Amino acid sequence: MSTSPHSPQVTAIVLAAGAGTRMKSNRAKVLHEIAGRSMIEHALVAVAGAGVSTTVAVVGHDRDQVSEAITAYDPHVVHAVQDIQRGTGHAVQIALDALDEAPEGTVLVTYGDVPLLSSQTLSELLLDHRAAGRIVTILSAELDDPTGYGRILRDGDGAVTAIREHKDASDDERSVREINSGILAVDADFLRHAVSSLEANNAQGELYLTDIIGKAVAEGRPVGAHVLEDVWQTEGVNDRAQLARLGRELNSRLTDHWMTEGVTIVDPQTTWIDSAVTLATDVTLLPGTQLLGATVVGVGSTIGPDTTLRNVEVGAHVTIVRTHGSDAVVGDNATVGPFAFLRPGADLGEGGKIGTFVEVKNSIIGAGAKVPHLSYVGDAEIGEGTNIGAGTIFANYDGVNKHRTTVGRHARTASNNTFVAPVTIGDGAFTGAGTTIREDVPPGALAVGTARQRNIEGWVADRRAGTSSDKAANHAAETVGETSGD
């Protein structure tokens, strides 16, 4: 995202080179998702929203996976490779070296594993940094239990003098509750100078980015901290338990947001909404609903209970009950379910119906058309106002290729039909129950493909003598005889 000509230049460095061994995963830690986005994508969304001009991502462990995901989200992000992890200061050195030109203005340093960090918080950090005229501003927070975090050390006047990592801190320093989030706004010229002179004089034998605070103080440069009350935003993810905890918190924030926007969520604890979902006013979400990916729901629609939609476009005043759908479209005033399955390419027109135990894939169902019961619709186009009978199968696959079926407008197809594609059923045509359609049906015609029923009397007595069916048949015959007086 480019800044305006009047905005100070900001370069973002996103640190994402860590191994994440506690995740115990074949997937890079920063690629694990909450609310429909990987953690690295959350980080990139946050810095983009803060108005940065250039973003550098430092990758290391699983760098091929991570780089591919970053490029898929934003191909303009610069990639810097930290082959050997020698600390955050070393990572920033590598990031600066990866740029074609030395950055000017402010450098924002953040991390790829703090998924609740918001663009608003980063914008406020940058604004405070500029307004105070500081050389370094640290995003800090106060924790009841700061164990494991670096501590913000201040002098008697409250000015920041240093950041002390937990393992290097004295007992008195460990009693400090204000912690370093690791997220900094730094003057670009000072940062280049400071990181080039870092030394690994610590318990870890690493180059700490936080040591630039001491350098700034020693040079008499102004250093401060921007205290964040919302401590969730500073929390990183190291294992799956933390991932789940932050996922619940982010989902709680998303459900709260949508309720303030006029959405009714009957049970927020069982309703999950991804970050990219869009909901209109007067939408109702019933318990057990998951709205994932880029799902959009229109005004006045009711979703659920027990419904999962991913990348589904839902119109206004729609009802979807106990349905699983992905990459599909549902028009205004339509109804879906219960127990429907909308596969990619399903497109239901205005006022249409996809009913109980119906599966639809790569098919267009026109306005007011209905597929009410127990059917499979694959690779088809159904015209407006048409009704498809219960138990109908669109046989679209010949074992090698998929073929399409077209059913015209205001047609009426009976129960237990099979349409062997490719085939066309004309406007206003009818079909008989149990018919297999192998040839085109002209408009207004009735297609009947069943043989006349033939009853073979005595078949059970002849072929199934002594069975329960035979006994039941004999009993029925005797009952009829008694009733008739024979």
Active site residues: 373
CA distances from 51 to 126, 127, 138, 292 (A): 10, 11, 18, 27
Backbone torsions φ then ψ of 163, nearest 5 degrees = -120, 125
For the stretch 176-193, what's the b/e string if a residue is b when 16 or more beta carbons lie within 10 angstroms of its beta carbon? bebbbbbbbbbbbebbbe
CA distances to 18, 24, 484 from 28, rounded to whole Å, are 9, 10, 81
Between the two ends of the chain, the Cα-to-Cα distance in Å is: 95
Question: Which DSSP letter does residue 27 get?
Answer: S
What separation in angstroms does the CA of 29 have from each of 24, 59, 154, 236, 455?
A: 9, 11, 34, 11, 68
The CA R_g of the chain, rounded to the nearest whole Å, is 33
Helix, strand and coil percent figures for the chain, each rounded to 5: 25, 30, 45
Q: Which of 378, 371, 381, 374 is CA-nearest to residue 396?
A: 378
| Among candidate residues 327, 328, 355, 360, the one with its CA nearest the CA of residue 341 | 360
Give, in degrees to the nearest 5, the angle at Cα 473 between 469 and 478: 150
Strands 329-330, 37-38: pairing is: unpaired
